Structures are given as C-alpha cells and as structure tokens.
Structure 1
Amino acid sequence: MADWYTTFANSGVGTTLTKQLGLPRPGVLRRYEPGDPLLEGPAVVGSAGQGRLRDTVTGVLRDAGVTVLSPVVADGDASGERLGAVVLDATGVTGPADLAAVHDFLAPAVKRLRANGRVVILTDPPADADSPAQAAARQAVDGLTRSIGKELRDGSTANAIYVPEGAEAGVAGPLAFFLSGRSAYVDGQGVTLSAADVPAGQDAEKPLAGKVAVVTGAARGIGASIADVMARDGAHVVAVDIPAAGDSLAAVANRIGGTALQLDITAPDAAQRLVEHLRERHSADGKGGVDVIVHNAGITRDKLLVNMDAARWNSVMAVNLQAQLDITRALLDGDVLDAGARVVCVSSQSGIAGNRGQTNYAASKAGVIGMVRAWAPAFAERGATINAVAPGFIVTEMTAKMPFGTREVGARLNSLQQGGLPVDVAETIAWLSQPASAGVNGQTVRVCGQSLLGA
C-alpha cells in the first residue's frame, strides 16, 4: 500500500512545502530486489583500538563487490562521492576513553552518508567484559547506535552486531543483512551472535534453495508476504491457515508453487497432524522433512483488562502462544526438523512496550520472546536456531481501517517517520531462516523503524 504522505513529501511541490513548513520528509526506503548490489556506493571501514574484525568485515564487503575505502581516503576524498555504508569495528574498545576514537571515526564518515545509507557497529557483548569500565564502554555502543539511527535521515539506518570471542564466523550473514535493502525497516537494533558452524557458499540469490518452509497464517497480510519472500529465495513453502481461509490460502500456495494445508493450529490434534503431513510429503526416511518453521498466525481480541472476558483472553493465548509451544515441541519430539533447522516466531512491539487495550495480546507476544530465549540452548545443541521478530506499525488492510489520525500518528512515531510494509517483516524472517544466520540464536529483532515506543 502506498504511503500518501511519503509520496507527497518527496515530490517536487512536497519537498518545497515540507522544507518551508518544517514538516518531516520521510525517505523513500531502499527495499531489496533480486539482483540488487549489496550497497549503492562505497563503504568506509574503520576500527577503534585494536579491533579483531576489520579484516573480516573488509573481506565480506569486497566479496560482495563493494569498494572499500580506508578512513583517511574517505575523509580526504575530494570527489564528493557519497558513502553507501559506514562500518566500525569497535571490538578494541576497553574503556570510556576509547570512545573518543569511535566519535572521531564516525562523525566525518556519517556526514558523507548517502540516502538509504547504512551504519553498522560491531563490538563485544557487555556481559563478557572483564571490568565495569569495559562493560560500560561496550554498553555505550547501544546508546550510540540508537541515537545515530534517530539522527539519520533519507532512509538511512544504524544497527549493531555484538560478536563474542569465538563467534567471528557468524559475522558475514548479519552484516550483509544490515547493509542490504532487506533491512529497510530495521533501525536502531542490536543482535548478539553465538558460536556456531556456519555453512559456506550460500547462494546470494536463492539462499533457501532446496529448503522446506512452513508458514502459519499464510492466507493473507504479513503471512502471505512471508510465503512470497521465502519462495522467492528458493524454498518450497507449506502454507498453513484455518479452513475458513481456504480459498485465499490456495491462491497464495498456487501463486508461489507451494502447498496449502488447512489447519486450525489450536485444535487438540493440530501439532500431530502437521507432523504427519510433513513426514508423508517431505521426509524420505521418516525423519526430517522441514527446514524452516515460521510461527506467524496470530489474532487480536482487544479490550481494556477490566472489561475483558475469558473468551477473549483464552483465544488470544491459544493462537498466539500455546500453539507455537505445542507445534514446536511436536516437531522436536517427532524428529521432523532437519539438521540446521530454523524456527522464527512472530512477536510484536506490543510484547516489548505494551499497549492500551491489549493486555492479552501483549502478554502473548511477550511470552513468545521468553519462549525463544529459553529454547535457544536446546536448539543450539541440535545445530538449529530459534529467533523472534517483533513488528511495529506495519501498513496492512487492518491498519487501513483505523481512524485517520490514529493511523498517521502510529506510522510516523519512529526514526524512519513512516509505517513499514509486510515485506519488511518477511525479509527479516527470511534472513533469520538462512543457513548463514547460524550464529543468530535466541534473539528478538524489532522490525519497527526504531519505534519511539518501547526499548
């Protein structure tokens, strides 16, 4: 759906009027299309202290065909060429005094960032620090990243990657995601990596080739977009939704060359029926059968807590949380998940920040985050991962029915000054589903344009 204000603000007349009236002018976001380069323009890579990741970062960029400039060359370049990305290795930061070097590198480089540019900072997790001073300096990167994201304009974003000792092999996938158009609506976020075996040689155009992906709630909206993106990236998609949505579900499955499975995920036998379907259709030896599970199905039954009846509360918990627990457990117990499987659960910004009239919904979505965090070690033991995405204001048919004022305020209260699209959620889920994301486990990634609500 088109964003009328963003379209107007970036027109000839709109640009003039917004400037004269002091109104915000949201940038037109660079979203991924197959065949796109990783960046539009060169990147400058720097380090603060004796960082250990600068060579790794430079190698990833050069392998992707990006021209890499040193900070000296970038600062002294008289050509006026704008930068596509600014990447800082801050793993050498040992205390607050070292943060001066962070500022000295970033300030002139960010000034040269082009529209839809990217800032990515890599550092060690604060929890692994050897001293309070080191922990303070590392945690400072979080506040720095979020603030940069709020200062950037024209669709540019800033994100951080926390890389503990031993997790260096997992850098390439997250770095490429944050630099690419796939992360258009991900801003001010931090992802902590863990040590993992990361497969080499992933196909950049078809990273999910040969994979089987189950997507629940796939008949419409965000679920249909997830199915589209997963299929685009090479996966065979098993699209799941309730029987009442059968026609729409079939249309989605036919469009992407996938399989439609009508299933009420809250039914007592739902998990076992899904396991049996995957064994029959996608397993050659009774084991394995699915590589990716996307728990997207969800409902809202809004009411103030004091006015909420048991039916509203119980139905939301059943669909949004209990079904995810039951299906994931059944897949684990039934040996249906292939080696290196990926489970991605859809949470919500409401599960982080809360929302008036949505105590049931917010509780269920916060529960998803807790589930993911708790299950991560068990998944790691299997060479698999489980993560969550937390969408913010996403423009859908449902939000289009909201009152105009409420809708516009909700869409603008973020660093990118606009609502996201279903494809933004889908791209983040597809990234977390890739083999190259093996080092991302137990994480929750907000897809909210750095919403001003919540952490």
Structure 2
Amino acid sequence: MSNDTFRDLSQNPLVQRLGVPRIPVLRRYSPGQPLLDGPALVSAVGAGRNAEQIRALLKDAGVADAGAEGKVAAAVLDATGARTLDDLAAAREFLTPAVRRLAPSGRLLLLGPEPDPADVEASAVAQAFEGIVRSAGKEVRAGATANLLVVHPDAPPAAADSAVRFFLSARSAYVDGQVVRIGVPVGQAQDPIGMDSSAEVDRPLAGRVAVVTGAARGIGAAIADTLARDGAIVVAVDVPAAGEALARVANRTGGTALQLDITAPDAAERLLAHLRERHGRVDVVVHNAGITRDKLLANMDADRWNAVLAVNLRAQLAINDALLASDVLSDTGRIVCISSTSGIAGNRGQANYAASKAGVIGMVRALAPRLAERGATINAIAPGFIETEMTGKMPLGTREAGRRINSLRQGGLPVDVAETVGWLGQAESGGVTGQVVRVCGQSLLGA
C-alpha cells in the first residue's frame, strides 16, 4: 500500500468537517472477490448488439439486476448501435440517473460504435461518446470510474468479454477515462473467445508461460506476483546485479529466474533459448525493464541518451524481432510493453525517457498487424504516477502534485499496472491489439 498520509487523514470525519476533500480508498482485487459487490444496471440505445451478452456474463458471475431505485455497483450502456443524435439523447436519458446511483468504487462502462466514414452523423455520434466518458470520469466520485469500449461492427459480442470483466472488476481500480477498441479477435476467426470455456475466472492465465523483464523490484515484481497469482508460469528476468532480489521474486512466484542484461548483443538469443529449453514456448512477454537518466535537453549528453534508449526501446525491438523470427511465441501470444504517460505528454528533464516511451507506442502500433498474422497481439500500458520506492524519494511538494492531478486524486500502485498486464495477457483478449491503455487515474497530463 502507498504511504499517502493526506488520503488517510481525509477519511477522518473531524478532518472532513474542516472542509478537507475526502480522497477515496479504491476497491482493489483480491482472489475470490466477486466481480461486483452489488447489482448492475444494463441498458442499450439504438440497435445495440452486446447488451444480452453482457447480461449473460453478469448473471454467470452472480451479479443481480438492479431495480428501479437504490445504489448500483455498475452501470453499463450498450451504445454500439448508436448512429443519430436522437440515440445520443437516449444515452443521456440512461446516463444521468445512472451516474447518480453509482456506489463508491462503482463502474460506468460504455460500449460505443466505430465511426462510419460513410455517415457523417454516425461518425459524430461515435466520437461524442469519447467526450461523454472522459467528462464522466472527471465527475464521478468516491473511487468510481468511467471507461469506453469502442466495438468493431464485425466483432462478435463475446469478443468484448475479457474487457468487460476487467473494466467492471476491482482489477481496473486505477484505470479511468480510457477508450479501448475491441476488434475481431486475431487468429480466432472461428472461436472469438480463444480460450477454454472451463477456464477459471479467478485464474485466467492458468498454464500460460510469461516472461517479465525488470522483474526484481517495483512494478516488475508486482507484475510477476500478479501473473503467478492468476495461474501463469513466470520467468523473471533482470540484470545480474539484481540477482538476489530476482531470486526472491522467482521463489515467491514459483517461477524461474534468468539473470540477463537485455542490452547485450546476444540477449534476445539467450532469452529465447531459455524459453525453448525450459518451456518450449512463451505465451506472454512483458517488456517492463526501464531506466531514467534525467537531464534538461540543453545539457543532455550522449551517454544518458544512449543508455535510456538502449534499455527502454532498443532491447524491446531486438527481442520482438527475435520472437517474430522464431516459433517460440505461441499461437495466442500476447506482448505487453510498459510505456509511460511521459511518452504521451512529455516531462521536463526527460527528453530521452519520453522519446523512448513514445517510441514504444510507435513500435506497438507498427507491430500489431504483423503479429496479428500469427494470432498474437501487442499492446502498451502507460502508467501515470505510481507509488514506488523511487516516487517515495521525491520532494514532498512534487510527490503531492503527482498524486493529486488525476480524477481519482491519488497515486496508483504497482499492482494497478500488473492487473492491466494480466488482462492484456489473457488468451481471451485477442480483440485488443495495437492499443495504449493508460493506468493513471485519468491524469490531467496529456489528456
């Protein structure tokens, strides 16, 4: 947990009487937790085609239908068939009372249409839902979130299931104001789900082999822990200097440790050889390793520039090239690259770091079509202010500013990034590729 003294003090009724705003305590996932802790409200506007699938999903998860009154844990609107301004007005008729009924840590989830270039009004309406959800994310309170899934017209209803589960669950506690596009699942033309229907919801990664770079500490260690919790066999990778911490992660997760400098010329070859020898394949590749060497651009030297680009981008490019040229990546391979909101919004003194993280986003978009040809996906996650050992050493004012400039008014935790990695790493998430998902509490930076 984070050491957020102000958030903790804000829970005190005496402090609240002084007019201090309450910082919500977010509902986060723990094994065995129900999908939602209350009823859900589900509706559709236009010729929505996903509402019945969502109702069936919620029923299977034991979530009750909401009545006409009372608080709801989630409000879901299927607007995939919305094409006119009248449909948009109908959406407002649902959303206005639904938002008022959201319980603490509630979930507002919209499913919207892809813009239709042949229909100007339909395209305007499709884009309008982005404005609605980004505004709603700034308005909902008490830890609630608002997100939008844009569903391709050819995507079968079940293609959105993994995303619906993720965004409704406590796993998405720090993901707010996001737009994710759901396409036709790659490599699964006949089977849109792409996973055994008997797979346990609580262990969606059961049996999948996952490699995590930079796994010795911080966000990387949280990713390894979370993937192992969800059933994955974890290969934890980090530099030899971090060997002791890396071994602890591997032991804790029941996985293996691979001491490897990913910037070495033979790093990709050694990594693939390890995976082939130990497991015969890899299902999830998480490019998490990263460094900072901050300096104003006017004073940036070649060593700082080259070191950051080598770890944060060049190594990922080399490993991905090796995976594409090999048979090690499985038919439901999922590559997840850790970018940063700095790569979207930039950051003073971090031109090298922002370049590397923006480069990761460009790499993801370019590789998505190539990986889709073999049934694999690649996505990026852009964390915002995440409470780590590094942020704990920041000056108080800088740290407090980082925590509060988002809709949830607090920093995220490493597990928030890890939960998003786990969702994108599922075989069932084949409809999501080439995307950037921000885990930032809807940060005002780069919004």
Question: Partner of 1:113 in structure 2?
Answer: 102
Question: What is the Cα deviation at residue 68 of structure 1?
Answer: 1.9
Q: Which residue of 1 aligns with 2:111?
A: 122
Structure 2 residue aligned with 1:186: 175
* Secondary structure of residue in 1 paired with 2:225: helix
Separation of aligned partners in 2, 1:378 and 1:11: 53
Which residue of 127, 131, 141 corresponds with 1:139?
127
What is the rounded CA distance, in whole Å, between the counterparts of 1:169 and 1:48 in structure 2? Answer: 19
Counterparts of residues 73-84 of structure 1 (less than 5 Å): 73-74=67-68, 77=69, 81-84=70-73
Contact 1:316–1:360 (8 Å) recurs in 2:
yes
Which residue of 2 is the match for residue 394 of structure 1? Answer: 386
Match of 2:238 in 1: 241
The match for 2:372 is 380
Residue aligning to 2:139:
151
Question: 1:352 deviation in Å?
Answer: 0.6
Aligned counterpart, 2:50: 53
Displacement of 1:12 after TM fit? Answer: 2.9
Structure 1 residue 359: deviation in Å? 0.6
* Deviation sequence 1:336-374 (CA, Å, 0-9, x none): 111101100000000011111111100110110111111
Match of 1:339 among 331, 344, 359: 331
Q: Which string of whole-angstrom CA distances, capped at 9 and with x for unpartnered residues, describes residues 425-450 of structure 1?
A: 00000110011211111111000000
Question: Residue 13 of structure 2 corresponds to which residue in structure 1?
Answer: 12
Shift of 1:190: 0.8
Equivalent in 65, 83, 88 of residue 77 of structure 2: 88
The equivalent residue for 2:287 is 295
Deviations 1:361-393 (A, max 9, x none): 001101101111111111111111111100000
Determine helix, strand or coil for the equivalent of 2:103: strand
Aligned to 2:30: 33
1:177 pairs with one of 154, 166, 181: 166
Letter in 2 for 1:140: A
Aligned residues: 437
Q: For residue 262 of structure 2, what is the amino acid of its counterpart?
A: I
Pair 1:356-2:348 in alignment = yes
- Structure 1 stretches of 5 or more lacking a match? 284-288
Give the conservation status (yes or no) of the 8 Å contact 1:26–1:153: no
Distance 1:129 1:185 in 2: 33
Deviations 1:75-129 (A, max 9, x none): xx3xxx3100000011221123321111111101110110000000001122x44
Larger displacement relative to structure 2 (142-151 or 166-175): 166-175
Q: Secondary structure at the match of 1:34?
A: coil
Q: Tell me how far apart the structure 2 counterparts of residues 13 and 40 of structure 1 sit (CA, whole Å).
A: 28
**Aligned equivalent of 2:320:** 328
TM-score, normalising length: structure 1: 0.94
Residue of structure 2 in register with 1:222 after alignment? 219
Instruction: Give deviations 1:263-322, integer Å, cap 9, x for gaps.
Output: 000001101011111111111xxxxx1111000000001111110000101111110001
Contact 1:161 1:191 in 2 (8 A): yes
State the 1:166 CA deviation: 1.9
Contact in 2 for aligned 1:24/1:417 (Cα 8 Å): no
Separation in structure 2 between the aligned mates of residue 16 and residue 248 of structure 1, nearest angstrom: 45
State the alpha-carbon separation in 2 of the partners of residues 162 and 68 from structure 1: 24
Q: Percent identical across equivalent pairs? A: 62
Cα deviation, 1:230-253, whole Å, max 9, x if unaligned, reads: 000011110000011111111111
Amino acid at match of 1:66: V
Which amino acid in the other structure matches residue 303 of structure 1?
Answer: K
Q: Decide whether the 8 Å contact of 2:114 with 2:153 is kept in 1.
A: no
What amino acid is aligned across from residue 44 of structure 2 in structure 1? Answer: S
Q: Within 2, Cα distance between the matches of 1:122 and 1:316?
A: 38
**Could you tell me how far apart the structure 2 residues matched to 1:430 and 1:273 are?**
25
Cα separation, 1, equivalents of 2:86 and 2:203 = 44
Q: Which amino acid aligns with 2:435?
A: Q
* Deviation readout 1:15-34 (Å, 9 max, x if unpaired): 333xxx2x332211000000
TM-score, normalised to structure 2, is 0.96
* Secondary structure at 1:121 match in 2: strand
Alpha-carbon distance in structure 2 between the residues aligned to 1:26 and 1:140: 30
**Cα distance between partner residues in 2 of 1:334 and 1:437:** 22
Moved over 3 A (4+): none
Which of 260, 263, 269 in structure 2 is aligned with 1:263?
Answer: 260
Partner Cα separation in structure 2 for residue 52 and residue 234 of structure 1: 32
CA contact (8 A) 2:324 2:371 kept: no
Following the alignment from structure 1 to structure 2, what is the Cα–Cα distance between the partners of residues 258 and 124?
41
Matched letter for residue 62 of structure 2: G
- 1:12 aligned partner, one-letter code: P
Paired residue secondary structure (2:379): strand
Deviations 1:37-62 (A, max 9, x none): 11111011111222121111111111
Provide the C-alpha distance between the structure 2 equivalents of 1:93 and 1:341, rounded to a whole number of angstroms.
33
CA shift at 1:213, angstroms? 0.5
Residues in 2 aligned to 1:415 and 1:442: alpha-carbon distance in whole angstroms:
26
Quote the Cα distance in structure 1 between the aligned partners of 2:93 and 2:10.
34
Match of 1:207 among 204, 207, 210: 204
Q: Distance in 2 between matches of 1:342 and 1:14?
A: 46
SS in 2 for 1:68: coil
Unaligned segments of structure 2, at least 5 residues: none
Aligned counterpart, 1:286:
none
